[in-house]
Structure 1
Amino acid sequence: MQSFIIVVGAALIGLIAYTVWGMIRLQTATSGAVIDRAGRPGEALVIIDVQQDFTSEKTYPKQAVEAALARINALAAKAHGQGMPVINVRHVFKGPYVNFLVRLMSGGRGGARSSGLGTDPRLQLEPTAEFVKHRGDAFSNPALDRWLDAQHIGKLVIVGLDGNACVKSTADGALNRGYQVEIIEPAVLSYSAPSWDKQKTRLATRGAAFAA
């Protein structure tokens, strides 16, 4: 009996450790080859995770969501007018265990079987390119980096959600690769203003710029 309890206890500890590791990995920024910005004069607008699953819940005040969407719409329209690529990034959680946890903790928002994985229809968006990611950092999908390389993009203007999660992870992934990064604050949603303030300070020390 004692051996059984020890085995069960060890299994539970292992499962907890695996879960914690997985959660940390989800938001850990990736690294990659450093780009030569001298040969990449272009810039692109990158919209992160503005999906029905994430904008329809109660994480953000309704007015904040509508204001951010309006700002993103204006930025996208301006980008199209200037011939600047608009990249839409969507998140889908991957893996049976991860999706089980997502169903357990958040009703399946962002899960592989969710009906809310599409871009929020209030976003009047005709993206130049679209990428799906399974981790916080959009660069976890290597197709993004390849596309940016082919388009000679060296600067990313980042908007979307959440400032404390996928926005900051994507910004870190871009900075790790030597991209110039600008984050448009009014076009970013964050579940915690104090945490977002800390992330902004940290990202600024890494070289990210912030604009209204």
Structure 2
Amino acid sequence: MRNRALLVMNMQRDYIGVNARMPVEPSQTPGLLEHVNALVDDFAQEGSDILYVMNEFSSYDIIGNAFRRQAALAGSPGAALDARVRIASGLRFAKRQGDAFSNPALAGYLAASGISELVIAGVFAEGSVYRTAKEALRRGFLVTIPSPAVGSRDERRRARALAHLPRIGAAVADDLP
């Protein structure tokens, strides 16, 4: 199953941590962690790639940082992966925009590795998960979104994003793939 990879999106302290600056809906965090970690375990066991994609915003983006409540500033403790997230590889890709493909190193890695299918989990359903899925589909990848492993700032936004993803060509699964 080498042609399949898991993208773990933005599972950072500033989004799911106890003192998160821009938190997902708190009731979602325990299930989100459980399901993301189960995916990491499954992908590691099958020998598929696990890529951690994280926001790292420049401290010079004053307006954006104000909107984001200073979350995930490059080099800050809040930009680090939350300690409860299982780490099964050193494959990490930083980004400064919602779409993970905004970091060209990601596309280069996927192409060099012959990966054609992406499973995208993490936060935010209506933001990074949606934008990354849309760009991955545009680039010809098969995309699956395991709904139990996706979080958002509120349940309505999450539900709306998950309902819209199949309309753009992504598979949304109620069970973990």
TM-score higher than 0.5 here? yes
**CA root-mean-square deviation:** 2.0
Greater Rg by CA: 1
1:78 aligns with 2:39: no
TM-score (norm. length: structure 1): 0.74
Q: Which position in structure 1 is the counterpart of 2:104? A: 142
1:88 aligns with 2:49: no
Rounded to whole Å, the distance in 1 between the matches of 2:2 and 2:54 is 26
Choose which of 139, 147, 150 in structure 2 pairs with 1:185: 147
Rounded to whole Å, the distance in 2 between the matches of 1:71 and 1:143 is 27
* Maintained 8 Å contact 1:71/1:186: yes
List per-residue Cα deviations over 1:55-106 (Å, max 9, x = no partner): 122733434212111111111111111011100001011361x2x2355344
Q: Which position in structure 1 is the counterpart of 2:23? A: 59
Long gaps (5+) in structure 2: none
Percent identity over paired residues: 30
TM-score (norm. length: structure 2): 0.88
SS of structure 2 residue aligned to 1:90:
strand
List per-residue Cα deviations over 1:6-25 (Å, max 9, x = no partner): xxxxxxxxxxxxxxxxxxxx
Choose which of 84, 95, 102 in structure 2 pairs with 1:122: 84
1:109 aligns with 2:71: yes
* Maintained 8 Å contact 2:147/2:162: no
* Maintained 8 Å contact 2:25/2:151: no
1:176 CA displacement: 1.0
* Maintained 8 Å contact 1:41/1:154: no
